[in-house]
Structure 1
Amino acid sequence: MRRTLLIIAALMAAPLIASCGQSGEEPAAAGAEAAAAGDYERGPHNGRMLRDGAFAIEVTVFEDGVPPEYRLYAYRDGKPLDPRGVNAQVMIARLDGEKTTFAFNPQEDYLRANGVLVEPHSFDVVVTAREGGRNHRWAFPSYEGRTSITDAAARAAGITTETVGPQQVGDTVEIIGRVELDPTGSADVGAKYPGPVMAVYRNVGDRVGRGTLLARVESSNSLQTYSVYAPIAGVITQRNTNVGDVAGSEPLFVISDPSRTVATFPIFPRDIERIRPGQPVQIRGLEGERTQAATIRDFLPLAEVTSQAVTARASLPNRDGFWRPGMAVRGLVSVDQRTVPLAVRTDAIQQFRAFRVVFAKIGQTYEVRMLELGREGPEWTEVLSGIKPGTVYAAKNSYVIKADIDKSGASHDH
């Protein structure tokens, strides 16, 4: 429900910028409504037709078995022109300010660009052509995987950002365990002197503060009654006495602090050489999306005889009481860590078309960056190409941005 509300809030607050190839022959200032519909004339090669009187250029992006490249077809009075009689250029300006100009060479019946059109195909385009002593110029937006979300709406949706740069990335080992109370957060409460229990004031499940009165006991030696107080704050998890019992050396109560829990994981022989104290681990329930970063704290000294597993423990602070003792959890342990020049948050990566992407943030606009990925860890994933160092990108709740782009019907069009 929370995710649904976040998406709705963000989408209502975020004006959309249209997808790749979403305009006719209007200049870049044309309304987004026409662009969103992809309402422009298509030519014989399914490209965008740009007309100036009797002369026309058809702009296509060819990517069948080759890296994407511009190909232009020229016409006069609806008839194809010899490409050797046309001189053309295409200039693209990307969201981050990068500009690229393509020159063209005649090839058979078309003009072929002298460079690769790098993903994403999202930019403002200016096309110029000269033929028969006449100059022609067109400008139009061609956007893909791009949307605008105000900073206020992004905050309301829980979207946060990171900057692309060097990070430590490691392989991962998945382990399954459970939540337990931290033994260091429990206290056995016994009688100071043996004798009959005269009164009991607290029961299992009661939350108590340090110094809370728990019981009164009569000393068998002095016959004086004394009070038993809680030595720590927490919840009573065991009550081992009633009025009339004789207190001895056994604890009357056990108090545990529920905010101090640990995740325990059996580590089997196949993984024991890879997992060590001090390694980071991402802990989550078997269901749901709650994730918490922790560190392998220590190992219990003895192995389980039958399975030969050794128990690893990771501290799991539990201030809001989400983690309950006995709950099954999954851990992803980072092993074999090394520093890589570029990395992004693993949770930031989304699927867009056939690509794995993050969304770069420039001003209040977010746009896809198609990534080539290397080593993937639970927290960070290595980036080999597709995004520039220092780029700010959506790190948390990036699914909201993807939902906004999907809602716009963004397509890969030209």
Structure 2
Amino acid sequence: MSPSKTLRAAAAALFLVGIAGLAACSDAPGAETAEVEAGEYERGPHEGRMLRDGDFALEVTIFEEGPEPLYRLYAYLKDKPVDPRQVQATIALTRLGPKVDRFAFTAEEDYLTSPMVVAEPHSFDVSVAATHAGKRHAWTYPSYEGRTIITPDAARVGGVTTERAGSAYMGESLPLQGRIEITPEGQSEVHARYPGRVMALSVQLGDRVRRGQVLARVESSDSLQTYSITAPISGVIMAKNTNVGAITGNGEPMLVIGDPNQVHAEFFLYPRDAERVRVGQRVEVVSLAGDHRINAVIEAILPTADLTSQTLIAHVHLPSQNGAWRPGLGVRGTVQVATSEVPLAVRTQAIQPFRDFQVVYAKVGNTYEVRMLELGRRTPEWTEVLGGLEPGTEYVVEGAFLIRADIEKSGASHDH
């Protein structure tokens, strides 16, 4: 098991132990999962919930074989089917919030049906009323799924945090590959002013030098006088093309000095991406090892393409970080090429799997319940919500997987 999974498992165990301990120390339960288990009620011929009142009974089913789940009710008198045209029925679903969905039914074939969809989650307090032969019957019962009650102390033990769902700015990002290079301002070539023989050389490859430091002495071929050559900048000897006794003045630099604290990232832009990247856009720069990262800005894009790779080069300035960015090493980048506001979004880390859905856990008081989401665009930080969640809903961000674990440990079912 990876270290991250081990830590998450330990946190989950601590969370559940905390719930149990708090429940034992209080008259009010620390956490109770409100989930009606399969088999806890009488089932009818259509595998629905049988509601009885004397000789009259009503079987409540949710028909889920069509495009949307719909209620179907079957009436019985002394366990014999009743013509649905002889029955009037209504259902009210009180959801967490609270919000009430009301259903009115009409006869169809051998059952009563309502055109109103039973929206997810199928978690509510149900109130059923039916009238047959002038007599009114009424029932109430809970039908919960994906719901749990957790005390504030238990939530705090589990590290559960929440936010309100609302609008967010979402950026469209583009991955980049590049390398660290010393900036042109951070490099300098050292040349002899007059051709001649190198009489002394006081530095080696890799040595650090300071500006004005004497690096070599050269005897002029014309005057036979010896003169000193000093460092034009501070930095490190990056290249050494001469030795004592060598003749200078052939156009090649004697030494090259580079300042490793003056670096930038050079990112390669392929033709399909070049039109979307602009000077001033923000880039997250990450070392290949992942141990260094920084947010920076594109400061320049070279106008000509590399003939070999057919790429443009984008320069991103990197501030000095005590040698964190070493010239020549590769880096990854993520550039934000577009940003737009969406009316409703949630933190991406809050999204959890539940049955065949992607969900967040809404919080109402001490009760947590799934909200099945219709999702749009996604970034590492935000995910757009197209449906399934009301703006302003308080939902779990940190610790969402612990809420899921608490619900799953109860054997949560999708049952009616």
Q: TM-score normalised to the size of structure 2?
A: 0.67
2:35/2:147 contact within 8 Å kept: no
Change in CA separation of 1:398 and 1:32 when aligned onto 2, cut-off 3 Å? closer
1:357 matched to which residue of 2? 359
Q: Does 1:13 find its partner at 2:21?
A: no
Aligned match of 1:378: 380
Aligned partner of 2:149 in structure 1 is 148
Q: 1:176 to 1:255 in 2, by over 3 A?
A: closer
Distance 1:37 1:292 in 2: 51
Residue 102 of structure 1: CA displacement?
1.0
Give the Å deviation of 1:329. Answer: 6.5
Match of 2:346 among 344, 347, 353: 344
In 2, Cα distance between the equivalents of 1:69 and 1:324? Answer: 63
SS in 1 for 2:349: helix
State the SS of the aligned residue for 1:271: helix
Q: Is the contact between residue 292 and residue 324 of structure 2 (CA under 8 Å) also seen in structure 1? A: no
Which whole-Å CA distance do the structure 2 matches of 1:405 and 1:292 have between them? 37
1:190 corresponds to = 210
Task: Name the aligned partner's letter for residue 369 of structure 1.
Answer: R
Structure 2 regions of 5+ residues with no counterpart? 21-31, 187-207, 216-233, 239-253
Q: Match for residue 126 of structure 1?
A: 127
Q: Structure 1 residues 318 and 395 mapped into 2: Cα distance closer, same or farther (>3 Å)?
A: farther
Following superposition, the deviation at residue 5 of structure 1 comes to 1.8
Shift, 1:72, TM fit: 0.8
The reply to whether residue 4 of structure 1 matches residue 9 of structure 2 is: yes
CA distance in 1, matches of 2:388, 2:327: 44
Q: CA distance change for structure 1 residues 309 and 256 in 2, over 3 Å: closer, same or farther?
A: same
Per-residue deviation at 1:59?
Answer: 0.7
**Residue type of the alignment partner of 1:117:** V
Structure 2: distance between partners of 1:346 and 1:408 = 26
> How many residue pairs were aligned?
349
CA distance in 2, matches of 1:317, 1:387: 43
Quick one: which amino acid aligns to residue 383 of structure 1? V
Show the counterpart of 1:117: 118
The answer to whether the Cα contact below 8 Å between 1:162 and 1:392 also exists between their aligned partners in 2 is yes
Letter aligned with residue 355 of structure 1: F
Alpha-carbon spacing, 1:314–1:251, altered in 2? closer, same or farther (3 Å): closer
Matched ranges for 1:196-211 at <5 A: none
Query: Deviation at 1:71?
Result: 0.9
Task: Supply the distance in 1 between the matched residues of 2:266 and 2:260 (Cα, whole angstroms).
Answer: 20
- Counterpart of 2:404? 402
Note if contact 1:172-1:378 (Cα within 8 Å) is conserved in structure 2. no
3-state SS of 2:397 partner = strand
1: CA distance, partners of 2:36 / 2:320: 50
- For 1:170 and 1:7, how far apart are their aligned partners in 2? 32
Instruction: Determine if the alignment matches structure 1 residue 275 to structure 2 residue 277.
Output: yes
Q: 1:388 aligns with which of 387, 390, 393?
A: 390
Decide which moves more: 114-123 or 270-279: 270-279
Structure 1, residues 318-367: CA drift from partner, whole Å, max 9, x if none?
Answer: 99x99999997755544332222212223322332222222222223222
> Aligned letter for 2:106?
N
Q: Provide closer, same or farther for how the CA distance between residues 37 and 279 of structure 1 changes in structure 2, counting only shifts above 3 A.
A: farther
Q: Deviations over 1:156-192 (max 9, x none)?
A: 44433222222222433233457x6998xx9x66387
* Deviation digits for residues 12-49 of structure 1 (CA, Å, limit 9, x no counterpart): 3347xxxxxxxxxxxxxxx9688346522211111111
Query: Percent identical across equivalent pairs?
Result: 48
CA RMSD of aligned residues (A): 4.4
Specify the SS of the correspondent of 2:271. Answer: coil
